[in-house]
Amino acid sequence: MRNLANRLLCLTIAAALAGLALSAPVKAAEEDTVIVDQSWSFTGPFGTFDRAQLQRGFKVYQEVCASCHAMHLVHYRNLGESGGPEFSEAAVKAIAASVEVEDGPDDEGEMFERPGRPADAFISPFKNAQEARAANNGTVPPDLSVIAKGREHGVNYLYSLLTGYVEAPADYGLSEGMFYNTAFPGHQIAMPNPLSADVIEYTDGTPPTVENYAKDVSAFMMWAAEPKLEKRHRIGFRVMVYLILLAGFLYVAKRRIWARIDH
Amino acid sequence: MAGKSTYKPSTGIERWFDERLPVIRVMHDQFVEFPTPRNLNYWWTFGGILMFCLFVQLVTGIVLAMHYAPNENLAFDSIEHIMRNVNWGWLMRYTHAVGGSMFFLAVYIHILRGLYYGSYKAPREILWILGVIIFMMMIATAFMGYSLPWGQMSFWAVTVITNLFGSFDALVPGLGTAIVEWVWGGFAVGNPTLNRLFSLHYLFPFMIVGVVLLHIWALHIPGNNNPTGIEIKAKKEALSFHPYYTVKDAFALSVFAILFAGFVFYAPNVLGHADNYVPADPLVTPAHIVPEWYFLPFYAILRAIPSKLFGVIAMFGSILVLVIVPWLDTSRVRSASYRPIYKWFFWSFVVTGIALGYLGAMPPEGWYLIFGRAFTLYYFAFFLIVMPLVGLIETPTKMPGSITEDVLERSKGAAPTAEGAAASGAPAAPEKR
């Protein structure tokens, strides 16, 4: 009887939470956007990032995205940290040194430029939102640091967006200087199609297709948004094992103590 | 049940303390020897689970506050700084965010348990009302906490909810606007608003701790209710809190912790909203402004009423109505287990709560709105019509005469007499349940 109540309780909680998880994100008025779900190495309780993919994704970011989008929460040092692209120390230094960073003021009170260091945050392409807006047809390109968590459908949305550029349907009144995208809510997007085949050189034999570029850079965005994901999964497993054992021991203890009396 | 103290100071230092500040005696009487009905089921473990939730929120919250910057230009990045650069910051922040959801899950179960078993009925009215006060303070704290990341959903939730006070303009012209601007500390939601939300978010949990202590005090005067709703009649019907309920609560807590950790480590963002990873922008309104899941039923009630003022009144009323529940329920019987009619209304109420939660996440239009209104109607009818009426017309089913009788009825292979069950401490024959 008590066993049953026990199980019912667990089941109820599990069901309630499953319900919550499903109902929490608003699915309301989901338009006719097309989201293509991909399989990713980092999903699931044991998921890890694919280092080579992150390194390729960084290259796509660096050569394409970075010319308009900031990523100010990520630092060059992060590129060499465990659980990320894991570039070598020398590579991180070289990547950082390839940019000019404004520093200062110096002893004369002047700002000055110097080569980047691993401790610097990713440099932004524009000085401020106004400059970004002026240079981009009136739209500020969003910062990409947490973009993979800041959109419904996360990385799948990013992949779908990057591969979702098509000709606008004839009856769609596209505004001047805007583009049509199947994944973007409302379909009218200010960002021109950023990717085309063969624009970025891959050195590891991965075919230089739009799909691969999109997938790699989306994975890179996911890492940028969630740099502790691997550590979280790893520690989570230990915590779960510990808690399940603890619950087992406590259950036995409870049975033994309550066996002393009728109840 | 407060009863006489059974504590015997056995060492010199314990006697020294006992004559000056008898904290050890209080702990012993209230948390070791405290007589607890022997028939409490697992729904009674959520009190302890809630204590755990409060403790977790306090510890993680205090650590987070060491690194957080309550400034409209810094808040969002400071939280990302916690996630990225602070040692174990991601764990603290995800535990705190998921912890809010777990806290509300547990409190809803705890409240529904009280409603089902009539735990609010005399002499436990003050205990119940203190619980409602804690719940209201939790709502305020969670709302203020959700604003702190200063993401899009934070900003717009604050805007929508604080603007509710503007509805008082319908009562006295200018009153609502004055209140809203006073709450904001300016003419729009901005830095002064964020600063005060942070200040109060830090203050409220300690006030909750205070009311929780009163809640436990008020619990320890009449003692626990139990699934039969029959008061303890004989000493043998109670068990000492330790070890029987310490171990049972600990087991339940460990199962709850598995669920908690599952969310923290494997789905930390699933209960949140993607828009809150977009920094607040007063010029861009999100397509759908929705609160966290635990507020959705109340949000549905707010939007079900066509008038803003009455919507606000209904929303606050849906929580405040809990205060008068002890006097709305006219039943002579506490536990719904013996209330054949009320039981159905109770479970309909649970379904209503879940349905309102679902509808709160949907746009208030078409069928969503019609169902929202129907369920809102039932929500209030349950308290204001069902509770007083059903108690008067219903004939309770046959109840056991006492807790002992109930326990013996349920446990197989127990001794045939009540006396057999009372062999305190003596190991009973191994029994199969």
Q: Determine the number of helices (DSSP H) and then strands (DSSP E) in chain A.
A: 7, 4
Q: Does some domain include residue A14? A: no
Terminal Cα distance for chain B, rounded: 29
- Determine if the peptide bond prior to A105 is cis (ω within 30°): yes
With respect to residue A15, please indicate whether it lies within any of the assigned structural domains: no
Provide the residue-wise pLDDT of chain A in tens; the chain has 263 residues.
444 444 444 444 455 444 444 444 443 334 689 999 999 999 999 999 999 999 999 999 999 999 999 999 999 999 999 999 999 999 999 999 999 999 999 999 999 999 999 999 999 999 999 999 999 989 999 999 999 999 999 999 999 999 999 999 999 999 989 999 999 999 999 999 999 999 999 999 999 999 999 999 999 999 999 999 999 999 999 999 999 999 999 999 999 999 998 87
If phi over 0 gives left and psi between -120 and 50 gives alpha, with beta otherwise, what is residue B425? left
Q: What chain B residue is nearest to A157 in terms of C-alpha separation?
A: B274
- Would you tell me the crossing angle of helices B89-116 and B75-84 to the nearest 10 degrees? 100
Neighboring chain A residues of B420 at a CB cutoff of 8 Å = 262
Domain range list for chain B: 28-231+240-289, 297-410
ipTM of the complex, rounded to two decimals: 0.90
Residues A209 and A260 in one domain: no
Q: Which positions in chain B touch A253 (Cβ < 8 Å)?
A: 247, 250-251
CATH of domain B28-231+240-289: 1.20.810.10
- Give B416-422 contacts, CB < 8 A, sequence gap 24+: B418/B236, B420/A262, B421/A261, B421/A262, B421/B236, B422/B236
Rounded Cα gap, residues B284 and B362, in angstroms: 21
Q: pTM of the prediction?
A: 0.91
Q: Classify B362 as helix, strand or coil.
A: coil
Provide, as residue numbers in chain A, all residues whose Cβ is less than 8 Å from the Cβ of B91.
232, 235
Distance between A197 CA and the closest CA of chain B, angstroms: 31
Nearest CA in chain B to A239: B261
**One domain, residues A52 and A160:** yes
Q: How far apart are the first and last CA of chain A?
A: 11
Cβ A48 vs Cβ A222: under 8 Å: no
The helix or strand, by DSSP H or E, that contains position B36, with its residue range, turns out to be strand B35-37
User: Looking at the structure, do residues A126 and A220 belong to the same domain, yes or no?
Assistant: yes
- Token pair of A182 as six digits: 């199947």
Cβ atoms B248, A254 nearer than 8 A: yes
Looking at the structure, tell me whether residues A62 and A167 fall in a common domain.
Answer: yes
H or E stretch covering A112: strand A112-115
Instruction: Tally the domains of chain A.
Output: 2
E-assigned strands of B205-335?
Answer: 238-240
SS3 B239: strand
Do A179 and A214 fall into the same domain?
Answer: yes
pLDDT for res B3:
60
Asked if the Cβ–Cβ distance from B261 to A243 is below 8 Å, we say yes
Alpha-carbon distance B172 to nearest alpha carbon in chain A (angstroms): 36
Pair (A245, A158) in one structural domain: no
Candidate from A21, A225, A246 with C-beta closest to B270: A21
Which one of B84, B237, B290, B367 would you mutate to disrupt binding with A, by most A Cβ within 10 Å of its Cβ? Answer: B84
Contact B431 A259 (CB under 8 A): yes
CA distance B60 to A20: 23
pLDDT value at residue B411? 67
How far does B175 lie from chain A, in Å, by closest CA? 34
Closest Cα in chain B, distance from residue A101 (Å): 20
The tokens describing B176, both together, are: 């609502």
At A240, give phi and psi (nearest 5°).
-65, -45
Torsions phi, psi for B279 (to 5 deg)? -60, 150
Nearest CA in chain A to B106: A13
Give a yes or no: residue A96 inside a domain. Answer: no
Q: Which of A3, A26, A153 is best to mutate for the B interface (most B CBs within 10 A)?
A: A26
User: From CA B49, how far away is CA B107, in angstroms rounded?
Assistant: 9
β-bridge pairing A188-189 and A179-180? antiparallel
CB burial readout B123-150, b (16+ within 10 A) else e? ebbbbbbbbbbbbbbbbebbbbbbbbbb
Residue-level pLDDT at B284: 94
The dihedral over CA atoms of B36, B37, B41, B46, expressed in degrees to the nearest 10, equals -30
B288 and chain A: CB distance < 8 Å anywhere? yes
Positions in chain B whose pLDDT score sits under 50:
1, 414-433
Contact A220, A231 (CB under 8 A): no
Residue type, B332: R
Mutate to test the interface with B, among A231, A237, A262 (most CBs of B within 10 A): A262
- Residues forming a β-bridge with B240: B35
A175 and A151, same structural domain?
Answer: yes
**Which B residues, 312 through 351, put their C-beta within 8 Å of a C-beta on chain A?**
none
What is the three-class DSSP state of A165?
strand
Structural domain boundaries, residue A232: 228-263
Within this chain, do residues A151 and A215 fall inside the same structural domain, yes or no? yes
Please check whether residues A245 and A212 belong to one and the same domain.
no
The answer to whether residue B125 neighbours chain A at the CB level (below 8 Å) is: no
CA–CA dist B320, B341 (Å, integer): 25
- CATH number where A217 lies: 1.10.760.10
Residues 6+ apart with CB under 8 A from B186: B192, B193
Question: Does a structural domain hold residue A143?
Answer: yes
- Is B77 an interface residue toward A (CB < 8 Å)? yes
Do residue A203 and residue A152 come from a single domain?
yes
Tokens for B188, please give them.
């729009």
The token pair at B310 is 């009455």
Same domain, residue pair A167 and A186: yes
A159 and A182 inside one domain: yes
List of residues 6+ apart from A18 with CB closer than 8 A: none
Instruction: Give the closest of B274, B363, B425 to A152, CB-based.
Output: B274
Structure tokens at B260: 């908690």
Please state, in angstroms and rounded to a whole number, the distance separating the CA atoms of residues A150 and B35: 52
